Structure 1
Amino acid sequence: MSHTAHIPSHRKPRRSASKIALRAGVAGGVLSTLAVAAAAGTANAAEPVSETIEMPTLTTDLSAQIAQSAAATQQAADTYESRAEQDAAAAKAAKQAKEDQAKAEKKAEAERKAKAAAAAKKKAEEERASRSTERTTLSASTQSASDTSDAPAPASGSVGSVISFLKAQLGDAYVMGASGPNAWDCSSLVQAAFKQAGVDLPRVSQDQSTMGTEVGTSNLQVGDILYWGGKGSAYHVGVYIGNGQYLDAANPGKGVVIQDLSGYPASGAVRVL
């Protein structure tokens, strides 16, 4: 026995001819099937594909419905347009009415102011006429009194109450800063006198010289306030009582007295009544 007889062989066994022939036949059949299928696919791909879609046919009822819908849409559009025009007309009318009302109110207000101004002007003229008459009467009374006696002028009306109060203080003392009832300085006496007529004057002579209406010393009337020094910087005040005279709280040596303007001419005068 050979020394290698017990080692099995590693060579693959030979395939039999029948198995090889069988496998060849199967492969040929598969290839034939694939070839036939490919040919059929090629033929089918070459032929065009067409599809017919059948469209619906409009019937008489459908046409009528479409026409009715279109008419309804147009009617709605016309209605909206008409309503928009009506709204615009109403807004315009409201705006015009508002403007007319504003004009009417403005005109009525102007007429009311004009009437009020006319009434105020008439009243002022009547008051000026009354004061003028009053001053004329007081001047005449003062002149007559100076010719006959030292009797005070009658107290009639607002100016009369001022003059009457002033003359009632004749002989009182002059004390700087005093405000009555038995001692005065020049401005406190004037302030207290005009308070009798319902006129509130400032306390000091500087401010009193800026009150009322400026008048010339050559056109004085009874009740005018006389001042000495500059307007707004006056250092002394008194009240004109007519006949070229004035009444004032003069100084500590004289007290409250009546003096002649010729001896101590005033710098200016203001009229508050």
Structure 2
Amino acid sequence: MTDRIPLAGVLGAPVSHSRSPALHAHWLRSLGLRGHYVPIHVENEDLARVLGVLPGLGFAGVNVTVPLKERALELAEHVTDRAALIGAANTLTFRADGTVHADNTDGHGFIQALRQGAPDWSPGAGPAAVLGAGGAARAVVAALLEAGVPEVRVANRSRGRADALRADFGPRVSVVDWGRAGSIFDDAALAVNTTSLGMTGQPPLRVPLDGIGPGAAAMDLVYAPLRTPFLQEAAAGGAVTVDGLGMLVHQGAPGFERWFGKRPMVDEAARRAALGFG
């Protein structure tokens, strides 16, 4: 019988910008739990060695962020179906026998944030339009298809990645060339930006957004700034907008529950904590 204080953390390179430590610290305090959640800078080539050490130091599990998500999936002995389908893991749990269980909660976080921020959105309302075809986009597409969206349109600066996504997810996914990306929003019930374009320090998103109509929902996975130009323009056209902070908070909740044993509250206090106001 040991009396170790449970530990968890987030691995990435870089990781100093992560909002997750502040979020998890808030949850630990609000639930009166012992434990710590720490950021750990890990390069891709060092991930295997680090994962071999952490369980012995008392870590129950970790989140992984860029650029470690694909490598984390490769190293895990146990992989959920959704992580395998997405091709990346963001939530690792260390089992008692020393093996690693890998999951991807990004899609869960996306859907929960969308339903919370745009409660009138329905999967059957019409097509979804997704900008980007990277790991975040794969999680979003998987979640939308599972929810029952009839068609998911994808446009990506590199057509090959979008075509690969369609090959993996099937005929309900259609691909549009980046030069015609603005057309994917026509009659779409949902518009999603999964790219970093429009994020603080990144180039602007230069895609016509006038096709996002009144009553549609629009979500940007970026949360710095909270009100991206994508969301501002969508709102000006009458769309209901959802920022990316909710996805961050919702995707972190399943891991917290696994590692610390209690389900955290996903509420305004959690959002404020993630922003550094908790």
Structure with the largest fraction of strand: 2
TM-score (norm 2): 0.21
TM-score (norm 1): 0.21
Rg (Cα) greater in structure? 1
Ranked by relative contact order (alpha carbons within 8 Å, sequence separation 6 or more), the top structure is 2
Structure with the largest fraction of helix: 1
